[in-house]
Structure 1
Amino acid sequence: MPQASEPKLISGNANRPLAEAIARRMSMHRGQSVGLLDARVERFNDMEIFVEVYENVRGEDMFIIQPTSNPANDNLMELLIMADALKRSSAARTTAVIPYFGYARQDRRTKARTPISAKLVANLISQSGIERVLTMDLHAAQIQGFFDVPVDNLYASPVFALDIMHQFKGRLDKVTVVSPDVGGVARARELAQRIGCALAIVDKRREKAGEVAEMTVIGDVKGQTCLIVDDMCDTAGTLCKAADVLIENGAKEVHAYTTHGVMSGPAVGRITNSQLKSVVITDTIQPTKPVRDAANIRIVPTAPIFAQAILNIWNGTSVSSLFSHETLSAIYEGMY
């Protein structure tokens, strides 16, 4: 049932271009202007965060758009402080739109005396006054259960499926979707089923974090166009080495589709000088200038799917309808 109040958006400093794009898409869908709330999110001289909201939000349905990407701690604190400001201003409901959820890689205890940081962050968010979370491609699906509030986890695979069917039209029979590790098989299989392609796996043995010791290919990739699918690209070491291994095993060409372009340290240089013909990322994390300028990195927008998801939450209608690339084809009409 439609709400009496209007959906209102507020953005931190983590990815304001995405927030503005979401507002534009919502304006187009609703046929009336939807803008970002007039507010300031600034720093004191000692780098403490200060938030001030200039508009009345009493009784309003609020959506905070703020990925917790690098610098993760600053962006997380901005999110929490904005949530507190809205709660103390009597907002009716506050939804955190977190396109990229930081600390998601620390979702379990892999060794003795280590934290489960994803659970700690979930607790902080749940206690800050946020009543719902909207995110995309959590590193581990079980993180949804860490929250004491409802979580809607969108998937990039329907958007990637549209892009792949457009980019590789007429030669999908020669395309193989590749998981860069055993843990990502479910994600790769789901995309392969969407586009009707074969599946292969790169088995990697990691000596320590950030380093890959050994890789072997499970499946036949000879003469195939390989699409490596992953949820994030950090230093790009895994992607680039996987591309090398696939080429060594007879792949014709290698592309990569990764949701979150973290792109730390040497990532852009590695991708530019690698055997990857293209790397497709989304804008859940605001891309830096080197990422935007890289010849073989392409960015697909997430504003259309996030704008529709926000409207569905506000209207009290299904968000899971956005899990289908057939549904998204109308939302992304004109792009593919």
Structure 2
Amino acid sequence: MPTILEPKLITGTANKPLALAIARRMSMHRGKTLGLVDARVERFNDQEIFVEVFENVRGEDMFIIQPTSNPANDNLMELLIMVDALRRSSAARITAVIPYFGYARQDRRAKARTPISAKLVANMLVEAGVERVLTMDLHAAQIQGFFDIPVDNLYASPIFALDILNQFKGEDLKDVMVVSPDVGGVARARELAKRIGAPLSIVDKRREKPGEIAEMTVIGNVEGKKCLIVDDMCDTAGTLCKAAEVLMDHGATEVHSYITHGVMSGPAVDRVTKSVMKSLVITDSIEPTQPVLDAPNIRIVPTAPMFAQAILNIWNGTSVSSLFETETLEPAYEGMFRA
């Protein structure tokens, strides 16, 4: 078998700008140009997906960069077909880099006669030939256990902490309070609060039915505070905007939100633009649409430095969890955050 000299990156159509950014960052680390493997992804007239890889990948360590965001089914199928193409081309190892893991909200049976779709997706990926998964902020941590292969789950909180420490300094940072928009997200919010040395509050919500909020209660004193709502996902932004209003009603001076995955479906952008939120910060785990890019109070922080380093660490056989530490990650983001 030939010696593997470099990791090889390939991407589908879900988020090509992120894949290119990761390749650029890895090129900086390696001191040599590391591009994307030349391939084409096409659709036949009946929307069947066809993949062709134009380079030799025999014996190579392959990393497929493909979030399974909207359209989730097309992007997932694209990923599975790319895996099959690489496996049949004798790639030595295939790692699926899935910045946003779709179907993660279907991680358990909430009622009778419903599927656990996240487990089904995990089975499909393993059966297709994926040998390792690299993702970010899984909606439910237990999804890692759905796989019988290694799963590295990165966290956006170290990136958000760097941004917050640059945006809020001195006296401003003393007034910051981290807020979890629901009880289920307390662990995520507590992690960020610990990183920046801020107190924690919770917005307790009660739903009458999915997508509709009946009541919201603030647990903790937010009066006079700059509140930072932390969550893993913003879909239609209804809950987020309502939580911002409730916090302002309870005396908060400003409300900002830090959300890992900007799904931003339907009326989300319009709601955020018209909301009381001063800013919404999301990552580029999902390729932002033009309305998201044009929104005056939405900012996007890059994940490419973290994913690039994680891919290199996996390839080298070194620690990925080291990227959870601010001291380790900060050099990769040097000069990227400005107040």
Q: TM-score range by the shorter chain?
A: over 0.9
Deviation per residue, 1:72-100 (Å, 9 max, x gap): 00000000000000000000000000000
Equivalenced residues, count: 334
The CA distance in 1 between the partners of 2:254 and 2:316, in whole Å, is 44
1:148 Cα deviation from its structure 2 partner: 1.3
1:334 Cα deviation from its structure 2 partner: 1.1
Partner of 2:250: 249
User: Partner of 2:318: helix, strand, or coil?
Assistant: coil
CA contact (8 A) 2:280 2:299 kept: yes
Partner of 1:151: 151
The CA distance in 1 between the partners of 2:210 and 2:102, in whole Å, is 17
Partner of 1:8: 8
Partner of 1:126: 126
Unpaired segments ≥5 residues, structure 2: none
1:158 Cα deviation from its structure 2 partner: 0.2
1:234 Cα deviation from its structure 2 partner: 0.2
The CA distance in 1 between the partners of 2:212 and 2:165, in whole Å, is 33
The CA distance in 1 between the partners of 2:273 and 2:176, in whole Å, is 22
CA contact (8 A) 2:63 2:97 kept: yes
AA aligned to 1:13 is: T
Scaled by the length of structure 1, the TM-score of the pair is: 0.99
1:212 Cα deviation from its structure 2 partner: 1.3
1:209 Cα deviation from its structure 2 partner: 1.5
The CA distance in 2 between the partners of 1:244 and 1:334, in whole Å, is 34
AA aligned to 2:329 is: L
Greater Cα shift, 4-13 or 105-114: 4-13
The CA distance in 2 between the partners of 1:7 and 1:253, in whole Å, is 44
1:171-210 correspondence to structure 2 within 5 Å:
171-210=172-211
The CA distance in 1 between the partners of 2:207 and 2:326, in whole Å, is 34
1:129 Cα deviation from its structure 2 partner: 0.6
1:4 Cα deviation from its structure 2 partner: 3.4
The CA distance in 2 between the partners of 1:289 and 1:208, in whole Å, is 31
User: Partner of 2:278: helix, strand, or coil?
Assistant: strand
| Percent identity over paired residues | 80
The CA distance in 2 between the partners of 1:262 and 1:5, in whole Å, is 37
1:1-336 correspondence to structure 2 within 5 Å:
4-170=4-170, 171-336=172-337
Scaled by the length of structure 2, the TM-score of the pair is: 0.98
1:326 Cα deviation from its structure 2 partner: 1.8
User: Partner of 1:265: helix, strand, or coil?
Assistant: coil
1:14 Cα deviation from its structure 2 partner: 0.2
Greater Cα shift, 178-187 or 166-175: 166-175
Deviation per residue, 1:106-151 (Å, 9 max, x gap): 0000011110000000000011111000000000000000011100
The CA distance in 1 between the partners of 2:5 and 2:117, in whole Å, is 36
Deviation per residue, 1:6-56 (Å, 9 max, x gap): 100000000000000000000011100000000001101110000000000
1:327 Cα deviation from its structure 2 partner: 1.2
1:303 Cα deviation from its structure 2 partner: 0.3
The CA distance in 1 between the partners of 2:25 and 2:253, in whole Å, is 38
User: Partner of 2:133: helix, strand, or coil?
Assistant: strand
AA aligned to 2:221 is: D
Deviation per residue, 1:135-179 (Å, 9 max, x gap): 000000000000111000000000000000000011211000000
CA RMSD of aligned residues (A): 0.7
Unpaired segments ≥5 residues, structure 1: none
Deviation per residue, 1:288-332 (Å, 9 max, x gap): 000000000000000000000000000000000000122111010
The CA distance in 2 between the partners of 1:222 and 1:30, in whole Å, is 49
The CA distance in 2 between the partners of 1:41 and 1:161, in whole Å, is 37
CA contact (8 A) 1:5 1:61 kept: no
User: Partner of 1:276: helix, strand, or coil?
Assistant: coil
User: Partner of 1:197: helix, strand, or coil?
Assistant: coil
CA contact (8 A) 2:4 2:60 kept: no
User: Partner of 1:55: helix, strand, or coil?
Assistant: coil
CA contact (8 A) 2:109 2:115 kept: yes
CA contact (8 A) 1:207 1:213 kept: yes
The CA distance in 2 between the partners of 1:86 and 1:161, in whole Å, is 37
The CA distance in 2 between the partners of 1:298 and 1:330, in whole Å, is 21
User: Partner of 1:206: helix, strand, or coil?
Assistant: strand
AA aligned to 2:217 is: T
The CA distance in 2 between the partners of 1:237 and 1:109, in whole Å, is 24
